[in-house]
Amino acid sequence: GLARKSHRAALIATGVNGARQLANTAANEMTPTALAEFAKGVARESNCSCTVLDHHEMADLGMNALLGVAKGSAEAPKLILLEYRHPGAKKTVAVAGKGVCFDSGGISIKPAHNMHEVKYDMCGAAAVLCAMMTVANLGPKINVVAVVPAVENKTGARAQTPGDIVRAYNGKTIEVHNTDAEGRLILADAMSYVVDKYKPDALVDLA
């Protein structure tokens, strides 16, 4: 009855507010590592399993599109996977969330005006991770896999350069004309990996 509906509404509101909290946190605190720790916390407190791939594991898999974006930052990139499974599930849905914790634009640098707002370039990741928290609490009869490529796009000494060519996880080569088009690069590797590994019936990306 009413108590059950109220409880459901509270669980959904907790997820929504959680995503806002992640997004609003300053980039010096909300690093790729911090996002990965949040995902591990979701797994600990619910019936989800969490896997976090580090730089070396991604390099071994050939995720050079994602790693190219991360090259200019001192912060280590992470590929975060959260899985929710239901014994009665007939379908698997994958959700991918863009996790650019700070986006300077890289060598193709953004204008300084309002640059403080690019901490919000990980709102896709925030939405996806908190959606998993909500899904785990509500327990629907479906399998859900979340993937979050988490990086910073900065202008460091090793930063990707316009004109660079990278080979993505799926074997395709990509010529990078503008380093501020980083979202599609990190999502390309994350999405092709999740399709390859989990064979989902549907894939939704949030960027």
Q: Which active-site residues does the annotation give? A: 110, 184
> Both tokens of residue 117?
């707002």
Q: How many residues in the chain?
A: 207
Helix (H) or strand (E) holding 165: strand 165-167
Phi, psi of 120 (to 5 degrees): -80, 5
- For residue 119, the SS3 value is helix
Q: Residue 102 contacts by C-beta under 8 Å, 6 or more apart in sequence?
A: 27, 73, 118, 119, 121, 152, 153, 154
Cα end-to-end span (Å), the chain: 37
Amino acid residing at 78: K
Q: Which helix (H) or strand (E) holds 128?
A: helix 123-138
Extract the tokens encoding 194: 């999740």
